[in-house]
C-alpha cells in the first residue's frame, strides 16, 4: 500500500523529515523519536522505502516517492507476466500438445482465478500458446505454469524446458512484439492481430481481465494498428495461407488442390489465396449441410468423401482444428493410385496429416515448421521496418507504463495533495533529489521547467 499510517507517540508537532538513508531498525518508528534531520523507513515486505514527509500529528502518514515514480508494478504491487511456448523454443509436436480448445482456455482462466490470479488472457495459435496474467509475486508464475500444464494434460517437469517466462516490462514488450507480428515466424503476418483481439475479447467477456490487462491489451492492439499504418512491416500482408497457396500454385501450369477445412479460420484464408491463382482448381471438403454455401469457383464435396478425391489432387492442404488426423498414411496408400508428384501441406497444430504419409511414393509433406525457410525471403524484405516498429513499441510502452502508474496513484492523490500542502514544493524537490538518480532527477527538473513556463 502506498500510504502507511502509524500512531505518533511523540510531540504534537515536529519539523518535517526528508528522505535519506537510515538503518532498517527504524522500521515502524515515528520520526519524532529519531534524531532530527533526514529519515526513512525500509519496509522489507514490500522492498520499498517509506519516507516521512509530514509535520507529525496524532496520526503520521508516510508515503513512498519511490512507489509513485516506479513503474515496476502494474498496480497495487502486482506484477505482469507472460508464460510462452512458441515456435522459437518448441517444435510443432510440442506446440500441438498446447493447442487448447475454447472450453479448455476458459477452464484454465477459471482455475487461475481460483488460485488468486484474477486477470489472465490465453493466446493460442498454431505457433504459440501464451498465458498473460497479473500476479502478486513471482511465486504465482509457478502456479500459473502448473495450471497451464494441467490444462494441456502435461507434466510440468516434461515441458518446463520449453517454457519461457517474461516479467514486467519484458512481458509488455513481448506482447507488443507478438501483436504487431515482429515475433512471428513470418514477420508482419496479419493473422496474429486478429488472434490477439479474439483471445483478449474472450477473456474480457468471461470477466478475467481488469483495468491492468484491459489497458495493456488495448494499448498493444492500438500499437499494432499504428505500426501497420506508419511502417512497411505489413504493407503486403503475408500469412501461412499465402505461403501455402503460393507453394501449391507453383507445382505446374494447372494444379488440382483438395482443401480440407475450408470453413475454418486458416482454411478459409487459404481458400481465398488459392482462388487468387488462375492456374489452381479447388475442391473443398465441407459439412454436408454446407454444400450449397461454398463460394463460386469451388467444387464442394462432403468431408466424409475426402479420400475419394485425393488421387486426382496434385496438392492436398489440410487446416482443421481436429484433435485427430484428417489423413492417415494407411488410408492414403490405399487411394493414391496415379503415379505423380504430390504435395501435402499441413497447416494444423496439432497435425492433421500423419507424418508417415511422407514415405509414400511421390509424396512430399510440409508442415508449419517447414515454412520457416519460405518465410525467410519475406522476413528479409521487412527487416528494414523492424527498427522503426521497435521505436514505436518503445514509445507506446512508455505511455502505457505512465498510465498504469498514474492509475495506481489515483486513490491516494487526495492524501498526497494534503501532505504536499504541509511540506510545500521545496520539500517535495528535496525528496526527489535524494531518492532519484541524477538522470531521473534532471528529467524531473526539466519537466518542471516546462510546466513553469506555461
Question: Where are the alpha helices (H) located in 206-275, listed in sequence order?
Answer: 211-230, 240-249, 265-275
Side-chain half-sphere CA neighbours of 116 within 13 A: 11
Q: Which of 153, 175, 156, 87 has its CA nearest to residue 125?
A: 87
In percent, the amount of the chain with pLDDT more than 70 equals 79
Cα separation of the two ends of the chain: 34
pLDDT tens-digit readout, 56-84 = 332 333 334 433 333 334 445 568 999 99
Query: Rounded CA gap, 69 and 229, in Å?
Result: 32
Query: Rounded CA gap, 199 and 217, in Å?
Result: 10
Residue 194 to residues 105, 123, 201, 353, Cα–Cα distance (Å): 17, 11, 10, 26
CB burial string 219-257: b at 16+ within 10 A, e below: bbbebbebbbeebebbeeebbbbbbbbebbbebeeebbb
Cis? peptide before 72, omega within 30° of 0: no
Catalytic residues: 126
What's residue 292's pLDDT? 54
Determine contact, residues 220/200, Cβ cutoff 8 Å. no
Higher pLDDT, 424 or 200: 200
Beta strand pairing call for 280-286 and 128-135: unpaired
Q: What is the mean pLDDT of the chain?
A: 80
pLDDT tens-digit readout, 177-192 = 999 999 988 888 878 9
Q: Would you give the DSSP letter of residue 291?
A: G
Inform me whether the pLDDT recorded for 133 exceeds 50: yes
pLDDT tens-digit readout, 5-54 = 333 333 333 333 222 223 333 333 333 333 333 333 333 333 333 333 33
In percent, the amount of the chain with pLDDT more than 90 equals 52
Inform me whether the pLDDT recorded for 397 exceeds 50: yes
Model pTM?
0.69
pLDDT tens-digit readout, 355-372 = 999 999 999 999 988 877
Inform me whether the pLDDT recorded for 400 exceeds 90: yes
What's residue 454's pLDDT? 52
Q: In the numeric block, which cell numbers belong to residue 323?
A: 484433435
pLDDT tens-digit readout, 240-269 = 888 899 999 999 999 999 999 988 888 888
Q: What is the largest CA-CA distance in the chain?
A: 99
Amino acid at each position: 500500500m502506498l500510504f502507511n499510517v502509524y500512531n505518533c507517540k511523540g510531540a504534537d508537532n515536529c519539523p518535517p523529515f526528508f528522505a535519506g538513508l537510515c538503518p532498517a531498525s527504524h522500521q515502524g518508528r515515528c520520526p519524532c523519536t529519531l534524531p532530527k534531520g533526514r529519515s526513512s523507513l525500509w519496509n522489507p515486505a514490500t522492498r520499498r522505502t517509506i519516507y516521512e514527509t509530514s509535520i507529525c500529528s496524532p496520526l503520521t502518514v508516510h508515503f513512498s516517492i519511490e512507489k509513485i515514480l516506479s513503474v515496476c508494478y502494474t498496480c497495487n504491487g502486482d506484477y505482469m507476466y507472460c508464460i510462452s511456448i512458441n515456435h522459437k523454443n518448441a517444435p510443432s509436436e510440442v506446440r500441438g500438445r498446447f493447442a487448447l480448445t475454447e472450453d479448455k482456455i476458459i477452464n484454465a482462466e477459471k482455475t487461475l482465478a481460483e488460485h488468486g490470479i484474477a486477470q489472465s488472457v490465453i493466446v493460442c495459435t498454431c505457433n504459440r500458446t501464451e498465458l498473460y496474467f497479473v500476479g502478486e509475486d513471482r511465486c504465482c508464475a509457478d502456479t500459473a505454469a502448473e495450471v497451464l500444464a494441467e490444462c494441456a494434460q502435461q507434466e510440468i517437469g516434461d515441458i518446463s524446458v520449453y517454457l519461457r517466462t517474461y516479467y514486467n516490462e519484458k512481458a509488455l514488450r513481448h506482447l507488443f512484439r507478438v501483436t504487431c507480428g515482429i515475433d512471428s515466424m513470418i514477420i508482419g503476418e496479419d493473422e496474429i492481430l486478429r488472434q490477439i483481439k479474439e483471445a483478449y475479447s474472450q477473456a474480457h467477456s468471461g470477466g478475467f481481465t481488469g483495468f491492468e490487462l484491459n489497458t495493456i491489451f488495448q494499448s498493444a492492439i492500438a500499437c499494432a494498428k499504428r505500426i501497420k499504418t506508419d511502417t512497411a512491416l505489413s504493407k503486403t500482408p503475408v500469412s501461412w495461407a499465402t505461403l501455402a497457396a503460393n507453394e501449391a500454385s507453383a507445382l505446374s501450369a494447372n494444379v488440382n488442390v483438395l482443401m480440407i477445412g475450408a470453413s475454418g479460420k486458416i482454411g478459409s484464408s487459404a481458400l481465398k489465396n488459392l482462388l487468387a491463382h488462375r492456374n489452381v482448381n479447388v475442391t473443398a471438403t465441407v459439412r454436408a449441410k454446407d454444400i450449397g454455401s461454398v463460394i463460386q469457383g469451388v467444387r464442394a464435396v462432403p468431408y466424409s468423401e475426402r479420400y475419394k478425391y485425393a488421387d486426382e489432387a496434385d496438392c492436398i492442404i489440410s487446416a482443421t482444428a481436429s484433435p485427430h488426423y484428417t489423413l492417415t498414411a494407411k488410408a492414403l496408400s490405399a487411394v493414391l493410385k496415379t503415379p505423380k508428384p504430390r504435395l501435402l501441406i499441413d497447416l494444423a497444430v496439432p497435425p492433421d496429416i500423419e507424418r508417415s504419409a511422407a514415405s509414400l511414393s511421390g509424396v512430399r509433406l510440409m508442415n508449419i515448421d517447414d515454412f520457416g525457410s519460405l518465410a525467410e525471403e519475406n522476413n528479409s524484405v521487412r527487416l528494414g521496418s523492424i527498427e522503426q516498429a521497435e521505436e514505436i513499441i518503445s514509445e507506446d510502452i512508455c505511455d502505457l507504463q505512465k498510465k498504469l502508474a498514474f492509475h495506481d496513484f489515483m486513490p491516494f492523490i487526495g492524501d498526497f495533495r494534503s501532505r504536499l500542502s504541509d511540506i510545500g514544493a521545496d520539500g517535495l524537490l528535496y525528496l526527489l533529489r535524494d531518492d532519484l538518480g541524477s538522470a531521473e532527477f534532471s528529467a524531473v527538473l526539466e519537466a518542471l521547467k516546462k510546466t513553469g513556463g506555461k
